[in-house]
Amino acid sequence: MWTMAQTGVYEAESAWQAIWTFIQSAAVLLGQGLVRLINLILPASRAIGEDLAVPLGYLALLTIILLIFNLIAAARKVIWIFVGIGWILMIVRIVLEVLEIQ
């Protein structure tokens, strides 16, 4: 009979296994696509082997993650600019209302 703690541990391990399987599959697919793309560009006598698919895939995944984080960081800067402009305009509006300037 399974206890609740044992079931929770099993589910957590199963979730990590599923995540790892997804990452592995994505890396393999990305790597195979990159190998095919590179082999299309290179002459047939200089084609690279399929053994580079997994390392290329993991490198591509890391690159995609870095690009996403950089886009988020850039978006944060733009949002801060809009927030700053918003506060400045709000202060100007308050000052104009206090001074009764229209």
Enter the pTM of the model. 0.64
**Taking residues 26-30, what's their average pLDDT?**
94
How far, in Å, are 11, 61, 96 from residue 8 at the CA level?
5, 30, 60
**Taking residues 86-97, what's their average pLDDT?**
94
Pick 53 or 12 by higher pLDDT.
Answer: 53
**Taking residues 10-34, what's their average pLDDT?**
89
**Taking residues 73-90, what's their average pLDDT?**
95
